[in-house]
Structure 1
Amino acid sequence: MALKVGDTLPNFTAKDTNGTVFDSQNYIGKQSLVIYFYPKDNTPGCTAEACSFRDNYQDFKDLGAEVIGISADSVTSHLKFKSKFNLPFILLSDADKKLRKLFGVENSLIFLPGRETFVADKNGVILMIFNSMSSKIHIEKALQILKKA
C-alpha cells in the first residue's frame, strides 16, 4: 500500500556508499528528511536531479533536512556516482527493491523505475509526496514545503 501525506515514514535500513547500514531511526525525531527515489545512476535525468540536490544541499541543511537518494544500483555504482559528481548527501542501494515497495513507488513508463520524492518533518510525518519524471521540479517542491514547515 502506497504511503500518503500525513502517514509516518516506515522504519527502514539499507546500505549506503560506505557499505554501512543506514537506519532511518537514527534520523527520525532529530531532523526532516527528503527521500528521493530515482531510476538509475549516471543517466541524464538522474544525474541532473542529483546535481540539483547537490547544488541546493546547503539550503536543505539550513532548513534542518537531510537528503537521501535511493535507487536499485549497487553500493559500488553509488560510490562511483557520488564521487564523480561530488554528491554530499546519502545514497542508498535498494537492489532488492524492498524500499521502493515499502514506500509504494511504482514504475513509470511501464519498465522504468519511478522518480518520486518524499518530504517528512523531523517526527517522520510525511508532508509531501511528489511524483514526476521531470527531475528539476522535485528540488523546488521539496524546498517549498520545508520552508512552510
Structure 2
Amino acid sequence: MKLGEHIPSFNLLDHKGNYFNSDEFLYKKYFVLFFYPMDFTPMCTKEVCHFRDIKADFDQLDAVLVGINGQSSLSHEKFARKHQLNYPLLSDRNAELTKRLGIKKTFGLITPRETFVFNKKGLLIEHIQSNKADVHIERAIKAIKKDQEN
C-alpha cells in the first residue's frame, strides 16, 4: 500500500469475540493499525505493552489503536487478559487484511512488524516497517501530529 491510498474496509474478530468494523470509525478517527508477529513472544509482548502504556496519547490525538496478526481470537484474548491491554487485538486468520495492505508474511507464515497510520479522510499517511517497536509508536504519533497541523 502506498502513501495517499485509502484504507480498505475490513471486519475482523477481536479478542473479545466481537467484530471490529473499520467503517464505524472511518472519517471520524485516525487509525493506527499495528501488525505484530506473535502473541506471548518477548519482543511482541514489549511492543503491545508499550502501545498499552501510551494509549492515552493516541486517545488525545483522536486515534483508534488496533493490534493485528493471524493468530486466533482465543490466543489474543489470553494475551490481552494477561497484559491488561486496553485496545482491541484483531485476528486476521485468513490474512485478508494483511494481503490487502500488501504485507508479505515472513516464511509465508509470520506477520511482520508493520504499522499503518491513516488520517480521518481514510488516507495512508505513514507506513512503518521496523523490528524496533519504539520506532512504530514515535513515527505514528509524529505522523498524526503533522497531519493535524495541515
Question: 1:1-149 maps to which residues of 2 (within 5 A)?
Answer: 3-108=1-106, 112-149=110-147
Q: TM-score, normalised by structure 1?
A: 0.94
Listed as ranges, the gaps of 5+ residues in structure 1 are none
Q: Deviations over 1:58-90 (max 9, x none)?
A: 000000101010011111110111111111011
CA RMSD of aligned residues (A): 1.3
In 2, are the aligned partners of 1:14 and 1:21 still within 8 Å (CA)? Answer: yes
Distance 1:109 1:55 in 2: 31
Amino acid at match of 1:144: K
Distance 1:34 1:78 in 2: 18
Name the SS for the 1:59 alignment partner: helix
14-23 vs 105-114, which deviates more?
A: 105-114
In 2, are the aligned partners of 1:48 and 1:136 still within 8 Å (CA)? Answer: no
Distance 1:75 1:64 in 2: 26
Tell me how many residue pairs correspond in the alignment. 147
Give the superposition deviation at 1:141: 0.7
Distance 1:18 1:83 in 2: 10
Distance 1:143 1:104 in 2: 22
